[in-house]
């Protein structure tokens, strides 16, 4: 039994709390701990306080900065994140100690106006805060109007119910974790809507110089999920992906082989480039990096520059 409770740093949204409690329950089960041996420490991040589009304020690190600070100062022992929220470069002395088994990577279409994205009426309004989803929607349906739709899952569903948009897109994994899958109208295939890098994956961060906590987290790591996420994050890192860049990527592992598909788009969806690579799973990171290299060569040197 730990000398004091293990403190898990987390954001305070319903989804973040579900994920942190899930990690806590897995730690308890893995090590025969008592309920009192694991506690949550709810931390308000810069991203939680910003009302406008996050891409205007610095992007992904806004959801992790204050949690990183608490981890580095020893105020918490570990931190639970949606992996798709994490910057590709982590602060010194912070590492991803475990990735849980990945949930469904697909996006869900939610609407009372049509059964699918393709069947929305001409000029319908889609609400999303994701530049990736917006760009892919515009690529598939340039006749639709896309508006910014910020807030947690429940807030976005409420806005949809109030008629502020005709449809929205949300990660299926988050809806399932919150018990809200009944709201789903249809599920978009990854061929139709390529997911965000690391979508559906929960990561646990710890201090690199804290071997005791890293050892506690080791049994929670799912090697297959960690490998797929590493491939996707290497791709994103090579593209220097930010919240201002519509980038999508998905690695799937089967029989020791990784199949990766990546895409980069202009925000208006009028130009896009795709890449597909396969190789041995043990080379997952280099496959992701190579995919990024090839996509940059395909898109040309000016593609990312004009997105800045």
Strands, E assignment, the chain: 6-10, 38-42, 78-82, 94-99, 107-111, 125-127, 145-147, 167-171, 186-187, 202-207, 247-254, 257-265, 272-280
The answer to whether residue 226 sits within a structural domain is: no
Same structural domain for residues 251 and 277?
Answer: yes
Q: Please indicate, yes or no, if residue 239 is contained in any of the structural domains.
A: yes
* Same domain (yes/no): 112, 167: yes
Phi, psi angle pair for 18, to nearest 5°: -60, -45
Q: Is residue 258 part of a domain?
A: yes
- Is 229 within a domain? no
Task: Examine residue 193 and state whether it is found in any structural domain, yes or no.
Answer: no
Domain residues for 47?
6-100+201-221
Domain match, 153 and 121 both:
yes
Shared domain check, 90 and 40: yes
In angstroms, the CA 185 to CA 173 distance is 15
CA 30 vs. chain centroid, Å, equals 25
One DSSP character per residue, 157-192 reads: HHHHHTTS-SEEEEEHHHHHHTT-GGG-SEE--TTT
Q: Are residues 257 and 209 in the same domain?
A: no
Residue 1 has pLDDT above 80, yes or no: no
Give yes or no: residues 213 and 289 share one domain.
no
- Phi, psi of 257, deg, nearest 5: -115, 145
Q: Which residues of 47-70 are buried (b: 16+ CB within 10 A; e: fewer)?
A: beeeeeebbeebbbbbbbbbbbeb
Check which CATH number belongs to the domain holding 249 and give it: 3.30.160.40
Q: How many other C-beta atoms can be found within 10 angstroms of the C-beta atom of residue 276?
A: 11
- pLDDT category at 152 given cuts 50, 70, 90 is confident
pLDDT tens figures, 159-205: 999 999 999 999 999 999 999 999 999 999 999 999 999 999 999 99
Nearest residue to 168 (alpha-carbon basis) of 207, 209, 127 = 127
Judge if 143 and 252 occupy the same domain. Answer: no
pLDDT score of 214 more than 60: yes
Task: Tell me how far apart the alpha carbons of residues 108 and 185 are, in angstroms, rounded to a whole number.
Answer: 7
Is residue 196, in this structure, part of any structural domain at all? Answer: no
The two counts, helices (H) then strands (E), for the chain are 10, 13
* pLDDT band, very low/low/confident/very high, at 243 (cuts 50, 70, 90): low
CATH number of the domain encompassing residue 72: 3.40.190.10
Number of Cβ within 10 Å of residue 26's Cβ equals: 18
Structure tokens at 87: 């910057």
Q: Do 59 and 208 belong to one domain?
A: yes
Check whether residue 33 and residue 166 sit in a common domain.
Answer: no
Count of domains in the chain? 3
Pair (170, 213) in one structural domain: no
The reply to whether 192 falls in a domain is no
User: Do 46 and 66 form a contact (C-beta atoms < 8 A)?
Assistant: yes
Residues identified as active-site: 85
- As a whole number, mean pLDDT of residues 76-81 equals 97
Tens-place pLDDT, residues 22-61: 999 999 999 999 999 999 999 987 665 555 555 544 555 6
23 and 164, same domain (yes or no):
no
Task: Write down the mean pLDDT value for the chain.
Answer: 92
Residue 194 lies in a domain: no
Is there a single domain that holds both residue 14 and residue 147? no
pLDDT at 113 over 70: yes
């Amino acid at each position: 039994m730990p000398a004091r409770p293990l403190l898990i740093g987390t954001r305070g949204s319903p989804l973040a709390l579900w994920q942190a409690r899930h990690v806590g329950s897995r730690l308890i089960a893995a090590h025969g701990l008592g309920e009192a041996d694991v506690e949550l420490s709810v931390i308000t991040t810069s991203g939680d306080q910003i009302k406008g589009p996050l891409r205007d304020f610095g992007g992904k690190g806004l959801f992790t900065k204050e949690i990183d600070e608490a981890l580095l100062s020893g105020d918490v022992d570990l931190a639970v994140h949606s992996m798709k929220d994490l910057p590709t470069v982590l602060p010194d002395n912070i590492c991803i100690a475990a990735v849980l088994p990945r949930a469904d990577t697909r996006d869900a279409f939610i609407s009372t106006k049509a059964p699918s994205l393709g069947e929305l009426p001409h000029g319908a309004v889609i609400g999303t805060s994701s530049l990736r989803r917006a760009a892919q929607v515009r690529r598939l349906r340039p006749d639709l109007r896309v508006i910014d739709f910020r807030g947690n899952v429940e807030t976005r569903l409420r806005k949809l119910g109030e008629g502020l948009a005709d449809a929205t897109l949300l990660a299926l994994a988050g809806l399932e974790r919150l018990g809200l899958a009944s709201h789903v109208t249809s599920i978009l295939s990854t061929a139709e809507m390529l997911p965000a890098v690391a979508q559906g994956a929960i990561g646990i961060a710890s201090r690199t110089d804290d071997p005791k906590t890293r050892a506690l987290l080791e049994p929670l790591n799912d090697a297959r999920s960690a490998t797929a996420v590493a491939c996707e994050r290497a791709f994103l890192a090579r593209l220097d992906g930010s919240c201002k860049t519509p980038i999508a990527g998905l690695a799937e592992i089967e029989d020791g082989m990784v199949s990766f598909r990546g895409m980069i788009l202009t925000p208006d969806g009028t130009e896009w480039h795709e890449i597909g690579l396969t190789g041995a799973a043990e080379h997952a990171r280099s496959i992701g990096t190579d995919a990024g290299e090839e996509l940059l060569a395909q898109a040309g040197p000016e593609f990312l520059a004009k997105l800045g």
